[in-house]
């Protein structure tokens, strides 16, 4: 039971990270459709600033790579626009983290209650 609980905890942690990454990437994809030059490097750097960790470069490349583009062809997105993107996304990420924390606490309390009373619902 303990091994299963730790496995579930690891899966939940990974899902939490994917959810935050997907929120940022979805927002950036909309901005890209609106004409903003979003590159994989820009997406990675923004995720690092907002989430406190990097993301898998393969996923950033899959979402934001431009065929034929090289590292010499830098994005025209400057620090001002990057700051605006960060300012817009930060409250969204924080709201998501708060909601996911509430969900975690709710399910943890339900699980603890079931274990304490040795009853599980199907």
Looking at the chain, the whole-number percentage of residues with pLDDT higher than 90 is: 51
Residue 64 pLDDT: 94
Annotated domain spans of the chain: 2-117
Q: Is the dihedral of CA 78, 80, 84, 87 positive or negative?
A: positive
Per-residue pLDDT tens over the stretch 59-89? 999 999 998 888 788 888 889 999 999 999 9
Q: How many CA atoms lie within 13 A of 103 on its CB side?
A: 10
H or E stretch at 45: helix 40-51
Residue 14 pLDDT: 83
Residue 60 and residue 81 in contact, taking contact as beta carbons nearer than 8 Å: no
* pLDDT beneath 50: ranges in the chain: none
Residue 29 pLDDT: 97
pTM of the model: 0.79
């Amino acid at each position: 039971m303990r091994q299963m609980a730790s496995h579930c905890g690891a899966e939940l942690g990974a899902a939490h990270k994917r959810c935050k990454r997907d929120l940022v990437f979805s927002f950036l994809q909309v901005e890209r459709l609106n004409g903003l030059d979003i590159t994989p490097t820009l997406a990675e750097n923004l995720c690092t600033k907002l989430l406190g960790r990097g993301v898998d470069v393969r996923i950033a490349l899959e979402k934001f790579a431009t065929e034929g583009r090289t590292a010499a062809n830098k994005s025209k997105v400057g620090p001002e626009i990057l700051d605006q993107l960060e300012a817009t996304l930060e409250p969204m990420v924080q709201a998501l983290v708060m909601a996911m924390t509430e969900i975690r606490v709710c399910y943890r309390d339900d699980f603890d209650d079931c274990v304490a009373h040795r009853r599980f619902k199907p």
